[in-house]
Structure 1
Amino acid sequence: MSNPRLTASHRKPTPTQRAATTVVEVLRTIGRLLRRDLLATFLLAAAIALTITFFSLLGSLSPQAEGQQVSLSNVISLARADRARSAQLLDRDHQVVVTTDTGQRVYADYPSSDTATQDLLLRLHRAGAQVSVDPQSGKPARTIVVQFLLPILLLVTLFAFFTRQTGDGSGGIASFSSFRGRGKKKGKGKAPITFDSVAGAPEALVELREIKDFLDDPSKYLTAGAAAPKGVLLVGPPGTGKTLLARATAGEAEASFFSASGAEFVESLVGVGAARIRDLFAKARKAAPAIIFIDELDAAGRKRGAGVGQGNDEREQTLNQLLVEMDGFGGDAGVVVMGATNRPDILDPALLRPGRFDRQVVVDVPDVHGRLEILSLHARGRAFSPDVDLHEIAKLCPGFSGAELANLVNEAALLTVRDGRGEIDQATLEEAIDRVVAGPAKKHVLSEDERWTIAVHEASHAIVTRATGQTISAQKLSIVARGRQLGTAAHMLTDRDAVMHGRSDLERQLAAIMAGTAGEIIEFGEESTGVSDDLHAATKLARSMVTSFGMSRGLGHVTIGEPGGEVFLGNALQDLGSTGPETLNLIDREVERLVGDAEARATIVLRSNWDHVRETARSLLELETLSGVALDAMLAGVSPMPLDEIALPSRDPDQDPRPSRDQR
């Protein structure tokens, strides 16, 4: 039998108890705020006094006649019967108070018109009653106070109180335009992040150590006649650790760290963003040595005059103030501005000139050695089985950023806990890679025809990749559906660790991408909807070759539009408008030619190695995944066919580039 006391202690609180708890917490919070700020205490006390005064005066304005309320006809009847001994008219309340011959007091409301008042006075006078009038002269003044003065004073007092609490007691009403971002003083908070907490970015660390040395001891730079950089711009893709590097620099130098987002300075109210910039730099100068870090700098530092609407908007005012502030302190001020962005191409040129952001530090995705360092860093404090090879894992995830690698290790830890194990093994880490790239595996059952189609598609990717001699970082084939992908051969299509690619490299990559489509056409006589992602990737790569890399024989060594095909509204509209329709048509024809040639090359390679395609596809049907040594053994007999040795069949430009059924 359960203990009734224990059972009662675990009951859910009633609504009354929850309300009482909420009130107590609110009172405690207000008490803490009041103990910290005497002016806030005065404002709150004044608001309470004004509220009490308001309701007191409001009650005095209502009619307060004594006695029993009756109708006006009853009062007239008393006067006709000579029973009214005395009568008093309350002028503002429009009430008449009558004392009868028996001493009873009654009152009634009468109309506010002069005619009705004179008629009532005449009747009472004829009845012999003693009539008096109370003008109630104090009520007009109280009415003005209650209706106008007290509400205004109460609203102003409450607004000042709550604004002061929002501004943390330091800015009053003007705190709306003050900087309210995150600022951490030296020696406060948790253990500081240092350069030991950063891995996979050795070049960036070398550049940032100078900032740390300058904040530690600026005198040695002044002695040598060297001026330390005023600003450092961290440029790189998302998730590469730009914010972490800024915090590590502040931690190494033991400097105050002020962190803000570029969007915090862009407001709809004119002048607020510029005021916050001024306040931020003023606080940083007082806390020097200090680092001001502005994340997503492109939100406030976008090129001026590039918008479609008006040019002189709030964003430009904020940028102008930032430019002035960065020029407003010398090299010995002990303040360094650090910014982070993944779109340096849209920043205003005045922001990037020497004297403002003097140095640009590129924080790119790590190579295989950097990925190994990052994985080793995130492996600290986690239990791994002896068979784990982090170097092999680093080779299996080319192009991963630091954030993706951290997510990889975390996903592996979650899978380990889900399976009820205590150590992370190699297979779990490989499964975590697939989950990060494409999502969790789908459990729905595919038909045998669908599985065979996917197997032929993925095997065709592998055969063309091996036959054309494409350099790849890792090899893995799978027909397990993940996310929107029905199969996976992405690790085989390119070497994402490579920095530069030649025309032949991109043509081999195009052929490998189009191999899935070519394989389906050879085997089934038509393509399926599963080629959609391949066609999108091939079209994007071919268009970049034509418009960005100058690898088109028809267009020549020119570029069209923004780098990478990204359009910056306002700036790029002029560039696109200056491109004639004939050039745009030529671009489309060149993209179609490159994709068509890639499919034709892939078809020739696959027809020469079709036995290996079928054998690899059958193995995929049986095992679902091939990688490492098993995949190398499967592809060992593939005949090498360099692209320059593949003769493309001549065709009419208007003809379908795919081979006919007889050619298949």
Structure 2
Amino acid sequence: MSNLPPPPPPPPPGGSRGRGSRGAGKPDRPAPRNDFKPKGNADGGGSGEAKSGFPKWGFWIIAGVALAALLIPSFWPSNDGESLTYTEFINQVEAGNIETADVNTGSGKITGEFAAGGDYNTSGGGDRGLSEADEALLRERGVDLEFTPPSNNWLLGLLGFMLPVFLIIGFLVWMQRRAAGQMGGVMSIGKSKAKAYTTDKPSTTFADIAGYEGVKQEITEVVDFLRMPERFKEIGARVPKGMLLVGPPGTGKTLFARAVAGEAGVGFLSVTGSDFMEMFVGVGASRVRDLFQQARRMGRAIIFIDEIDSIGRKRGAGLGGGHDEREQTLNQLLAEMDGFEASEGIVIMAATNRPDILDPALLRPGRFDRQIVVPLPESDERKAILKVHSRDKRMGADVDMETMAKATVGMAGADLANLVNEAALVAVRRGSQEIERIDFENARDRVVLGAQRESVIMSAEEKRATAYHEGGHALLATVLPNGDPLHKVTILPRGMALGVTWSLPQERHTYSKEYFEDTICKAMGGRVAEKVVFGHLNSGAANDLEQATGIARRMVREWGMSDRVGPQAWSGQQATFLGDDLMSSGREYSDDTAKLLDEEISKLLTNQEQRAHDILTRHRRGLELIAEALLEHETIDGPTVANLIQQGMIESGESASTLDDIIVR
């Protein structure tokens, strides 16, 4: 017997998707994830080691100084006195005005002193700076003549000598670091990849989570134990070692665990199930050991494993046996959970939306002692969630969160967050300065039904057929007593459908046989309306038939709603990864029972099709009025449809003084 009661059957879709462009089924409503990013550093001040040693920018400083020493002297201004041309220099020698002359044999530059005092310089002439005749002239005039060889730049010479040495040393250092990095990666492959959150950097708190008071209460017990363990020890209370958060995607399981990081005031280690898996066998088990050792070093700590089903699946399940790496990781996790006591102050939290595939050993008492269901939010909780996601947005005066909460049955917290964001985007595209009610309506239509396809151009015949098709759905949704109330109907193409009839699901937890029969009858309305009016069928009802057949099959096979079959239930064939062998996952009933099931499913569908035919024939005038209104306005709401049906009954000579008179009893 399962540890959790089976979830209630999912309600049928709120409205028919109507005519597909190619007989296509309805598009799945996107379910965005609530990927909350914690404030501050993701590591939360975890155990990151500060890097020591010579900083990298130091090498650039040294290189800059060396380059400056080479280049700057060449730009320094020289103070060699008056500049003379070579001809002027020779004329000064002939006039006896030159006292000394120093010739640089490298550059040919001549410097010296005048006889009357003062310095001069000249560029010289020839390869040696002086020709032989000019040298003889200087000696003849008694000039103190010297030849100076060019001076060498010692820094440039040293750089030329050391450059090869630096290159060799740099290459050896690069090779050593590369080898050390590869060796470090191999040696650290068994280390845990958990992110550590500390008390000085909380991510979020329970105040950021709207609703779910029961879930908060159960988690708060663990938080209080970690904060004040003495309070529980005084009366001998034992806090569960493990807590498993179970619920549909987008309900905030991971968000709850992150809120614990902000509330507990103790160490918090967060890791996903896929972080344990590697191509090497044994790495996952090593990471599990390192994770628990890291938690023990923290003293009191919370370990959170997200998507635990990736490592916690039933062992030995599936085609071809088990998975060595996953099973060794799971075995190590089970051993570690048995190896510490609750008094150590370590609590394990995990999240999954597939508890049916978890290994039974993982769910037994002493490991994950408590399973907390995080369901889809109720109406009041949806209202609170919408307020949380709308508090930083400019809302219009006509936006009623209570109405929006009632119109979003079945949406998770992530869906509601996406709805508010979509409404903001619609308001921006519309050029509005605030989000109004019409923006929420358009956003809800886009999220649930799909984007409007303005590029689709239907012919007059197609548009008329679509109007009668959707009119049949809308009429049955209005007159049938046990279905969901009609919200609106449109023949504007959305998603993969050419028209949509949308009913608002009511807040229900169980569903009656009559409810499902009315739902099947409503799904048959489009197909039957075309047959009644045009006398032929087309492929537009493919999704309607798929929806109706799915409900009828579950009524007969799973919910015991057939008198001939009786109180028996047979689920469909389960996939092999759920723990069944390929050879043992076949049909659980005989051929005679299969024939009986098929007959009952067919009978149920045929009866409801005939019922839809009778109702539409009776309300033929109302159907025509609805189709005409759709062709004129393209979209009409539920009350308008009810008034048109009432008007059609009056024109047909039937009594319909109130709207209740149109309901089929």
TM-score, with structure 2 as normaliser? 0.69
- Contact 1:562 1:572 survives alignment (8 Å): no
In structure 2, give the amino acid aligned to 1:607.
Answer: T
How far did residue 570 of structure 1 move?
A: 4.5
Higher RCO, Cα 8 Å, sep 6+: 2
How far did residue 642 of structure 1 move?
A: 7.7
- Contact 1:212 1:250 survives alignment (8 Å): no
2:332, 2:288 → 1: CA distance? 7
- Mapping 1:198-213, distance limit 5 Å: 198-213=209-224
- Mapping 1:359-370, distance limit 5 Å: 359-370=370-381
Equivalent residue number for residue 305 of structure 1: 316
Residue 464 (str. 1) matches residue 476 (str. 2): yes
In structure 1, give the amino acid aligned to 2:180.
Answer: A
Equivalent residue number for residue 423 of structure 1: 434
Equivalent in 617, 625, 640 of residue 627 of structure 2: 617
Equivalent residue number for residue 606 of structure 2: 596
- Contact 1:308 1:569 survives alignment (8 Å): no
Q: Which runs of 5+ in 1 are unaligned?
A: 1-32, 42-150, 167-172, 646-664
How far did residue 555 of structure 1 move?
A: 2.6
Residue 254 (str. 1) matches residue 274 (str. 2): no
Residue 179 (str. 1) matches residue 189 (str. 2): no
1:293, 1:600 → 2: CA distance? 55
- Give the match's secondary structure for 1:177: coil
Equivalent in 490, 493, 503 of residue 502 of structure 2: 490
Equivalent residue number for residue 277 of structure 1: 288
- Contact 1:284 1:335 survives alignment (8 Å): yes
How far did residue 419 of structure 1 move?
A: 2.3
2:471, 2:183 → 1: CA distance? 66
How far does the alpha carbon of each residue in 1:454-482 deviate from its partner, in whole angstroms, 9 at most, with x for none? Answer: 22222222221222212526612121111
- Contact 1:376 1:390 survives alignment (8 Å): yes
- Contact 1:40 1:161 survives alignment (8 Å): no
How far did residue 372 of structure 1 move?
A: 0.9
Equivalent in 399, 410, 415 of residue 421 of structure 2: 410
Q: CA RMSD in A?
A: 2.9
Equivalent residue number for residue 409 of structure 2: 398
- Contact 1:465 1:512 survives alignment (8 Å): yes
- Mapping 1:136-535, distance limit 5 Å: 158-164=178-184, 173-188=186-201, 192-311=203-322, 313-443=324-454, 444-472=456-484, 475-492=487-504, 494-495=505-506, 497-535=507-545
1:257 to 1:466, Cα distance in 2 relative to 1, 3 A: same
How far did residue 202 of structure 1 move?
A: 2.5
1:461, 1:361 → 2: CA distance? 40
In structure 1, give the amino acid aligned to 2:192.
Answer: F
1:254, 1:319 → 2: CA distance? 29
1:410, 1:159 → 2: CA distance? 49
1:391 to 1:305, Cα distance in 2 relative to 1, 3 A: same
Equivalent residue number for residue 131 of structure 1: none
1:339 to 1:640, Cα distance in 2 relative to 1, 3 A: farther
How far does the alpha carbon of each residue in 1:431-455 deviate from its partner, in whole angstroms, 9 at most, with x for none? Answer: 0001111221111222222222222
- Contact 1:298 1:343 survives alignment (8 Å): yes
- Mapping 1:629-644, distance limit 5 Å: 629-635=639-645
1:38 to 1:385, Cα distance in 2 relative to 1, 3 A: same
How far did residue 523 of structure 1 move?
A: 1.6
How far did residue 278 of structure 1 move?
A: 1.2
- Contact 1:395 1:473 survives alignment (8 Å): no
- Contact 1:211 1:249 survives alignment (8 Å): no
How far did residue 330 of structure 1 move?
A: 0.9
1:519 to 1:428, Cα distance in 2 relative to 1, 3 A: same
Of all paired residues, the percent bearing the same amino acid is: 41
1:421, 1:588 → 2: CA distance? 55
- Give the match's secondary structure for 1:489: strand
How far did residue 430 of structure 1 move?
A: 0.3
TM-score, with structure 1 as normaliser? 0.69
In structure 2, give the amino acid aligned to 1:446.
Answer: M
- Contact 1:257 1:291 survives alignment (8 Å): yes
1:276, 1:270 → 2: CA distance? 12
Q: Which runs of 5+ in 2 are unaligned?
A: 1-47, 57-170, 647-655
How far does the alpha carbon of each residue in 1:601-638 deviate from its partner, in whole angstroms, 9 at most, with x for none? Answer: 22222222222222122212222222254445445557
- Give the match's secondary structure for 1:475: strand
- Contact 2:318 2:581 survives alignment (8 Å): no
1:583 to 1:314, Cα distance in 2 relative to 1, 3 A: farther
How far does the alpha carbon of each residue in 1:374-428 deviate from its partner, in whole angstroms, 9 at most, with x for none? Answer: 1111110110111111111122221111111100100111111222221000001
- Contact 1:366 1:400 survives alignment (8 Å): yes
- Mapping 1:30-45, distance limit 5 Å: 36-37=51-52
- Contact 1:561 1:567 survives alignment (8 Å): no
1:266, 1:579 → 2: CA distance? 39
1:540 to 1:372, Cα distance in 2 relative to 1, 3 A: same
2:611, 2:476 → 1: CA distance? 9
In structure 2, give the amino acid aligned to 1:571.
Answer: D
How far does the alpha carbon of each residue in 1:81-132 deviate from its partner, in whole angstroms, 9 at most, with x for none? Answer: xxxxxxxxxxxxxxxxxxxxxxxxxxxxxxxxxxxxxxxxxxxxxxxxxxxx
In structure 1, give the amino acid aligned to 2:596.
Answer: L
1:607 to 1:568, Cα distance in 2 relative to 1, 3 A: farther
How far does the alpha carbon of each residue in 1:137-189 deviate from its partner, in whole angstroms, 9 at most, with x for none? Answer: xxxxxxxxxxxxxx99997862322453x5xxxxxx3211111132222212x
- Contact 2:645 2:662 survives alignment (8 Å): no
How far does the alpha carbon of each residue in 1:61-91 deviate from its partner, in whole angstroms, 9 at most, with x for none? Answer: xxxxxxxxxxxxxxxxxxxxxxxxxxxxxxx
- Contact 2:244 2:370 survives alignment (8 Å): yes
Bigger radius of gyration, 1 or 2? 2
1:377 to 1:152, Cα distance in 2 relative to 1, 3 A: same
Residue 538 (str. 1) matches residue 548 (str. 2): yes
1:193 to 1:34, Cα distance in 2 relative to 1, 3 A: closer
1:639 to 1:416, Cα distance in 2 relative to 1, 3 A: closer
1:238 to 1:329, Cα distance in 2 relative to 1, 3 A: same
- Mapping 1:555-570, distance limit 5 Å: 555-561=565-571, 568-570=577-579
Equivalent residue number for residue 606 of structure 1: 616
- Give the match's secondary structure for 1:571: coil
1:354, 1:213 → 2: CA distance? 21
In structure 2, give the amino acid aligned to 1:347.
Answer: L
Question: Greater CA deviation, 284-293 or 435-444?
Answer: 284-293
- Contact 1:234 1:360 survives alignment (8 Å): yes
1:240 to 1:631, Cα distance in 2 relative to 1, 3 A: farther
How far did residue 310 of structure 1 move?
A: 2.8
- Give the match's secondary structure for 1:550: coil
Equivalent residue number for residue 587 of structure 1: 597
How far does the alpha carbon of each residue in 1:523-547 deviate from its partner, in whole angstroms, 9 at most, with x for none? Answer: 2222222211111111221222222
In structure 1, give the amino acid aligned to 2:591.
Answer: P
1:562, 1:302 → 2: CA distance? 20
Equivalent residue number for residue 75 of structure 1: none
2:661, 2:347 → 1: CA distance? 56
